[in-house]
Amino acid sequence: MRETNQPIKKLVLTGNGMAGVRMLEHLLKLAPQTYEITIFGAEPHPNYNRILLSSVLAGGADMNDIIINQLDWYTDNAITLHTGDPVVQIDSAARRVISSKGIIADYDELILATGSSAFIPPLPGSDKDGVIGFRDIRDCETMIETARTHRKAAVIGGGLLGLEAARGLLNLGMDVTVIHINEHLMDRQLDRPAGLMLQQELEAQGMKFLLQKRTVELTGKRRVQGLRFTDGSSLEADLVVMAVGIRPNIQLAQSAGLKIGRGIIVDDYMRTSVPGISAVGECAEHRGIGYGLVAPLYEQGTVLAKRLAGVETLPYEGSVTSTKLKVSGVDVFSAGEFQDTADTRSLRIQDDIDGIYKKLVMRDGRLIGAVLFGDTSDGASLFSLIKSGESVSGREKELLTGQPAAGAAAVSPLQRLEAMPDDEIICGCNGVSKATVADAVQNKGCTSMKSLKACTKASASCGGCAPLVEGLLQLYAGENAGAAVKEGICGCTSLDRDEVVSEIQRMGLKTVKEVMHVLDWSEPEGCSKCRPALNYYLGMLWPGEYEDEKESRFTNERYHANIQKDGTYSVVPRIYGGVTSPADLMKIAAVAEKYNVPLVKFTGGQRLDLLGIQKEDLPKIWEELDMPSGHAYGKTLRTVKTCVGDTFCRFGTKDAMGMGIKLEKAFERMDAPAKVKLAVSGCPRNCAESGIKDVGIVALDGAWELYVGGNGGVKIRAGELLCTVKTEDEVMEWTSAFLQYYRESARWNERTAAWVERVGLEPIKEKLADEAVRQELVSRLEETLSYTTDPWKKIIDNDNLRKNFEDLNGAAALSGSSPAGH
């Protein structure tokens, strides 16, 4: 508790990035209510994890996924946050700052955490459109937008950042070439053999490389069109990403008269040359060194936070750095001095078959550097030895191979972890030590990886330390590892699917926001996992009452089209059972011709797919087709595949097409936890592939067999026989009951194959064998379907059609896509 006669000091943080805010988190724990805190950030976002920008670019995360501190964290800690408004002037004499929008803030302590900017070499043409760096979320958005309309990308810089950018652009469907001035990739982290192995792996993924090339000019008029090199060769490119390094943002400090080198010069307690002003992070220069890795910046922040809190602290004396990461799915570790010199000895193993390379560098009997490629499991223990400086004489080969020397006892992985110092940094991205992990497991009940991640942030960024964190979890939790903490439907809640649904029913919750608020979601806005799930559960529980939230649906469902890798869209009209008419074919042909559709293709689900459609044409195309959507994008019924049955086939025993059309028309607007595919085969020859569908129906002489839980995707699963019935009405009844039971009890995004495996076929059979239960399930599904209309038809009938499409372009749209109709 603070003394009331002790005035609260004013602290201003300029820069809302990882280093500065992490320092504040530490300060708030050490000395809550000591400072009145104001933050000025240049970007229009709360604090986010820049390490995960490559995941955003690659499509594995969106903006919400990488936010570290949501806006209410600032509110909860009484922090005044000014986003999109950097500080532009410091008056150190009056101890106040002025922002770009004219906001004046007084301070007792000013922390400069202005970070760094991408270095754009002053080449002729570097100011053209299409030339960018890779430092913030806006750069990611620019690359994603460019990939929709352009094809050739060049990345200048073969370091970590450049390779991450290249991997993301490859995922966006671009033709990517990496230009690097040196003879091998990542030459600051890897020696030549490891660099060449990395290059071979990335070339196999589709990346192209031009090594030992120096760019002299970016060609083109207003927009970049290519690069020219010193040897006279050239390369076409309509996007150029500069990833050749960073420059500390020192302009603000320089204008205020602070001592400047390459960065803002600080002492061992992060104080600058002007009283009352400190600096931390990539903008700071300590003992002539500026750090770009997260772990050293967090170490700086810890010292600064302790000083500001009045807690005794050792000085910051610099950091021994290591890099452990995944480069396009390849594990890489590097630490210390890894290049051979006249006074060093080295040991190495190279296995080109399994893609593994290990190198240790020693000087005077001590380990001073290491490079690991392909297998980085020993990285933490090696790094600990490098930092400690202890002698490794006689143990060199043991360290390299993991095998003890002759006569020595074997050391288990857990014993190695036990011997690791408590202050060893386990997660470099988030500065988490072994002691922090131990405390979380032993004193806070974190006995699963998910709970550990939520509590400590260990492995929450790049994930490279996950095996080490799992090892410590096993060390400290033993048999209880993974048992004590129940996994929720997402990271926003500890409640599982059944608990969420039960609480919605019990408390009569009727909106997504209400569920999150009443059930104490940790993230009040939810995430891309729970929002669509809650939207589905509410619609399933309250048909006719619940109003579907379009902002809680994935992008494809909101556009009613599948986004393709080139940024265009694919439109799939409904074709019941694969049976169409001349009139519908002419309608599809007319639309395809009018809008210059590049490709019309039959899908695996017996439908026509119009590919390559521009986003702005989607509303009119649907309007002119005047056909129901085939929902090739939705968690709903996709298709009912049929053979021609006894209508034409000499082997057919029943009307497969008629049965398929009947099923498709009955369930075409049915929302489900995941996509659903049906098939009807007119005989046991199974030409419609009924054995690998969610529900597959096979005609026999005088009967129908119903198979369920099949899947023909990545993990193939044969359907299991649910029942054999005699009439088409019974087929409809059992199919309807099965689908409704699945709708009511499956987890969000759980296909019937996984659901049947989890629940077991026998309990499902037992449930549906009760006729009364079966009829209740059928009735509930019919009630739900009575309230639904084709969502696309509803949109095109709306007077605000164009406005709806503008809304769909908003940043709140959830990302997500899946192949159409396969």
State which H helix or E strand residue 742 sits in: helix 728-745
R_g over Cα of the chain: 30
Type and span of the H or E element at 555: helix 555-559
Record the tokens describing residue 388, joined without a space.
């400690």
Strand 104-106 with 366-373, pairing: unpaired
Q: Which amino acid is at 626?
A: D
DSSP 249: -
SS3 letters across 743-797? HHHCCCCCCHHHHHHHHCHHHHHHHHHCHHHHHHHHHHHHHHHHCCCCHHHHHHC
Q: Is 723 annotated as a binding residue?
A: no
Q: Are 685 and 651 in contact (CB under 8 A)?
A: yes
Helices (H), 329-444: 379-388, 396-401, 413-419, 434-444
The alpha carbon torsion through 79, 82, 86, 87 (nearest 10 deg) reads -60
The encoded tokens of residue 39 equal: 């933050």
First to last CA, the chain: 63
> What is the H or E stretch that residue 74 is in?
helix 71-76
Strands 208-211, 175-180: pairing is parallel
Residue 687 assigned to a binding site: yes
AA identity, residue 815:
S
- Answer whether 594's CB lies under 8 Å from 538's CB: no
The C-alpha atoms of residue 636 and residue 671 are separated, in whole angstroms, by 4
649 annotated to bind ligand: yes
527: nearest Cα among 763, 328, 816: 816
**Which structure tokens are listed for 549?**
């939230």
CA 165 to the chain's CA centroid: 15
Give the span between the Cα atoms of 458 and 476, in whole angstroms: 15
Strand partners, 550: none
Q: Please give the C-alpha separations between residue 202 and each of 55, 167, 195, 199, in angstroms, as whole numbers.
A: 17, 9, 11, 5
Secondary structure (3-state) at 268: coil
Q: Is 191 helix (H, G, I), strand (E, B) or coil?
A: coil
Give, for 38, the enclosing helix (H) or strand (E): strand 35-40
Query: Please, are residues 370 and 379 in contact by the beta-carbon 8 Å criterion?
Result: yes
- The pair of structure tokens assigned to 520 is 């104490």
- Both structure tokens of 793: 């038809």
CA distance 632 to 820: 5
* β-bridge mates for residue 286, sequence order: 266, 289
Q: DSSP assignment, residue 409?
A: P
The H or E element containing residue 106 is strand 104-106
How is residue 21 written in tokens?
A: 């805010």
Which DSSP string do the residues of 340-373 spell out, in sequence order? --TT-EEEEEEETTTTEEEEEEEETTEEEEEEEE
Dihedral angle of Cα 679, 680, 686, 692, to the nearest 10 degrees: 20
Q: How far apart are CA 63 and CA 54, in angstroms?
A: 12
Q: Which of 505, 424, 509 is nearest to 469 (CA)?
A: 424
- Alpha carbon distance 747, 673 (integer Å): 7
Residues of the binding site for siroheme: 687
Residues of the binding site for [4Fe-4S] cluster: 643, 649, 683, 687
Residues of the binding site: 643, 649, 683, 687
